[in-house]
Amino acid sequence: MSKCPICGARTEASYRPFCSRRCADIDLGKWMSGSYAVPSAEPLEPDEYERALEEERCAGGVEGSPRKGRLH
């Protein structure tokens, strides 16, 4: 049997890959809080980010929001 990634107990079929609703909720909380976020290789500096947003605006992107997939 598999082990729960949160507490290490045996998994239950109804909560797989977790052992219980509690561990499933703990995992969800980690996702929602950003604990599982993957950092980028090189974060943009604030001025670089503003420049990229301005380029998007000039290229026809939505005002204040870059087009999907353009900024990473």
- pLDDT one-digit tens code per residue, 25-64: 999 999 998 888 777 777 677 788 888 888 888 887 555 4
Three-state secondary structure call for residue 46: helix
Residues 17, 30: Cα–Cα separation, whole Å: 15
Higher pLDDT, 10 or 63: 10
DSSP alpha helices (H): ranges in 1-72? 21-33, 46-58
Do 49 and 60 form a contact (C-beta atoms < 8 A)? Answer: no
pLDDT given at position 36: 84
The answer to whether the pTM exceeds 0.75 is: no
- Residue of 45 and 1 predicted with greater confidence: 45
User: Is a pLDDT exceeding 90 seen at residue 72?
Assistant: no
